[in-house]
Chain A
């Protein structure tokens, strides 16, 4: 999405500020203002993103641990990555959270946005109420749900018990714990996703929908063949955002289970931080980091490709 915009820069719109008189030499005069602004930005991204990225690749082949002298260990970390059973668990969990969480979050956001969009009374009130949940933030949301998921006396289990339903071992059984993490994640993001979809809906051509209604298209047909295609850019933006955020789910996991019981609910990012910060195996953590980078890259490229193909 973003890269395309670079490929077709808005050349016409720039002012030729430094080229006031069209003379031969003055055109090439260095514009100090531009360099004073751009240099710090370039340095920032070089130091805080490119340098760590490149040095991570170097760390992958070392036993760097912040303290003792760094030694070259060859492929040890990378081989360990492929043999470590924890990697399987962590990446499977991340994968599951993504594969289930992203579609659910997306469909839910679309449905809620359409419902709010067609409200004729109290539209902005309802929108604000739902959106405000996004502002709670990961830490407080996780704390609330941690108490809700409490096993003996938790709010949710009490509710289930009062409905004569069985209590759920929310945080002690891995699959339920992942469900809980999923619930928190979806709840936290719904308000944001809904607002993004609402912005997309307000750009939809309503005359087209009206025309289809007159031509006898039913609600589902109008939704399927007119509304959805027009919402495509919004959907693609949200899918990319949701996918990337889902790969990086961290806060709810730390608060709800911290990877327990027995590391069964660890996610990739949690495992990376545990290895890199708690155990100071930065070399090994770098391998996980690089894997996460590759996955992000592949997902984004696939998305961009699908988008470009569908845009043609």
Chain B
């Protein structure tokens, strides 16, 4: 009798705990949905017409799907072109950035040479210079090179970064010296040592840096919108800026639904990548905090 009673109390306690866990989970789901609501709204509104977007209450599930907005954004909004430009900048920037930072970080981690610490300090101190304040001068350089309105103009001031070098140096410090020395004794050149011994060990760090570089350059706006002024050269963020101005102009040359569809097209690639490589994304961001 007594045993049965205590057992019942125990199961009740257990189910209470489970209930609390489920409730906590549901509260967090609500919060996450609240955080995501602007994105969900964007997706939903991009499939509706101008009148429906501003209706109250907002129809989170569109009555009919206006795919035409996407076609308009792609064709009239010139987003097809911008998409290609963004791809071009990303493909140019990410590999070069990761390669340069990895190589430089590796040398700072694994070689001794006169002035090493001084040079490393020289690089790290640039973290004190807000890069935005360099844009006037760098704009002059880019313009003198005749590179205005080209993809390389967007990538140029970011090819190296103090953070990237520091990050990859931290990663390279963990590469075992014995491995490098063994390769050395086998007659590997410095270059071979880097390529065939160090690089495989640095893969995780490089992926992390690549993800950070990709999310950065894909949404880079401030610098890009100064150097990309012709419609044919604009990347997605700059093209969106032009569309946004057109949408809020008095003339309303572009409707809001088209602008929002353009927004979805801009965000979709990164979000899709994230859906497939969630853990990699989270790890690289966590590491950026720990190692930086």
Q: Which residues of A contact B (CB under 8 A)?
A: 1-3, 6, 9-11, 13-20, 31, 33-35, 37-38, 40-42, 44-45, 47-53, 55-56, 59, 66, 112, 115-116, 119-122, 124, 126-133, 135-141, 143-148, 150, 153-155, 158-159, 161-162, 187, 190-192, 195-196, 198-200, 234, 237-238, 244, 247-248, 250-251, 254-255, 269, 272-273, 276-277, 282, 285-286, 289-290, 292-293, 296-297, 300
Contacts of B100 in A (CB 8 A): 40-41
Give the complex CA separation of A254 and B48 in angstroms: 26
Shortest Cβ distance from B279 into A: residue: A124
User: Once the chains bind, are A2 and B127 in contact (CB under 8 Å)?
Assistant: yes
Q: A56-B137, A119-B25, A200-B289 are in contact. Are A292 and B130 (CB under 8 A)?
A: yes
User: Once the chains bind, are A296 and B286 in contact (CB under 8 Å)?
Assistant: no
Shortest Cβ distance from B127 into A: residue: A2
Q: For the complex of A and B, list the 10 residue pairs with the smallest distance between their C-beta atoms, beginning with the closest.
A: A137-B219, A153-B54, A52-B137, A289-B133, A52-B134, A199-B286, A158-B56, A33-B190, A196-B289, A129-B32
B28 interface residue per 8 A CB criterion: yes
Interface residues contributed by chain B, number (CB under 8 Å): 100
User: Once the chains bind, are A10 and B173 in contact (CB under 8 Å)?
Assistant: yes
Contact with A along B28-63 (1 / 0, CB 8 A): 110111011011011001000000011111100000
Contacts of B136 in A (CB 8 A): 52, 56, 59, 276-277, 282, 285-286, 289
Q: How far does the Cβ of B30 sit from chain A's closest Cβ, in whole Å? A: 10
Contact with A along B211-233 (1 / 0, CB 8 A): 00001001101100010000000
Q: A13-B177, A33-B191, A140-B42 are in contact. Are A112 and B111 (CB under 8 A)?
A: no
A-B contact list, 6 entries, CB within 8 Å: A135-B270, A139-B219, A140-B42, A143-B244, A273-B135, A293-B133
User: Once the chains bind, are A49 and B131 in contact (CB under 8 Å)?
Assistant: yes
Shortest Cβ distance from A16 into B: residue: B112
Q: Which of B240-267 contact A (CB under 8 A)?
A: 240-241, 244, 248, 256, 259-260, 263, 266-267
User: Once the chains bind, are B184 and A137 in contact (CB under 8 Å)?
Assistant: no
Q: Which of B150-170 contact A (CB under 8 A)?
A: 156-157, 159-160, 162, 165-166
Q: A144-B38, A293-B130 are in contact. Are A192 and B285 (CB under 8 A)?
A: yes
B141 interface residue per 8 A CB criterion: yes
Contacts of B58 in A (CB 8 A): 155, 158
Shortest Cβ distance from B20 into A: residue: A120
Contact with A along B99-125 (1 / 0, CB 8 A): 010011001011111001101111110
User: Once the chains bind, are A17 and B126 in contact (CB under 8 Å)?
Assistant: no
User: Once the chains bind, are B126 and A50 in contact (CB under 8 Å)?
Assistant: yes
Q: Which of B80-105 contact A (CB under 8 A)?
A: 100, 103-104
Q: A158-B56, A255-B244 are in contact. Are A48 and B138 (CB under 8 A)?
A: yes
Shortest Cβ distance from B174 into A: residue: A13
B21 interface residue per 8 A CB criterion: yes
User: Once the chains bind, are A45 and B267 in contact (CB under 8 Å)?
Assistant: no
Contact with A along B7-25 (1 / 0, CB 8 A): 0000000000000011011
Q: Could you list 14 further interchain pairs (A-B, Cβ under 8 angstroms) beyond the known A14-B110, A143-B259?
A: A15-B180, A17-B190, A50-B129, A56-B137, A121-B25, A137-B267, A139-B221, A148-B38, A158-B58, A195-B285, A255-B244, A289-B132, A289-B136, A300-B128
Q: A34-B111, A237-B292, A251-B221 are in contact. Are A133 and B39 (CB under 8 A)?
A: yes
Q: How far does the Cβ of B199 sit from chain A's closest Cβ, in whole Å? A: 14
User: Once the chains bind, are B35 and A44 in contact (CB under 8 Å)?
Assistant: no
Q: How far does the Cβ of B197 sit from chain A's closest Cβ, in whole Å? A: 11
Contacts of A126 in B (CB 8 A): 25, 28-29, 32
Give the complex CA separation of A11 and B113 in angstroms: 11
User: Once the chains bind, are A144 and B41 in contact (CB under 8 Å)?
Assistant: yes
B204 interface residue per 8 A CB criterion: no
Q: How far does the Cβ of B225 sit from chain A's closest Cβ, in whole Å? A: 8
Q: A6-B121, A143-B263, A187-B35 are in contact. Are A234 and B133 (CB under 8 A)?
A: no
User: Once the chains bind, are A137 and B266 in contact (CB under 8 Å)?
Assistant: yes
Give the complex CA separation of A150 and B274 in angstroms: 31
Of A137, A190, A196, the residue contacting B237 (CB under 8 A) is A137
Give the complex CA separation of A235 and B189 in angstroms: 43
Of B25, B289, B292, the residue contacting A122 (CB under 8 A) is B25
Contacts of B31 in A (CB 8 A): 112, 115, 130
Interface centre among B33, B38, B256, B288 (most CB of A within 10 A): B38
Of B55, B124, B221, B271, the residue contacting A132 (CB under 8 A) is B271
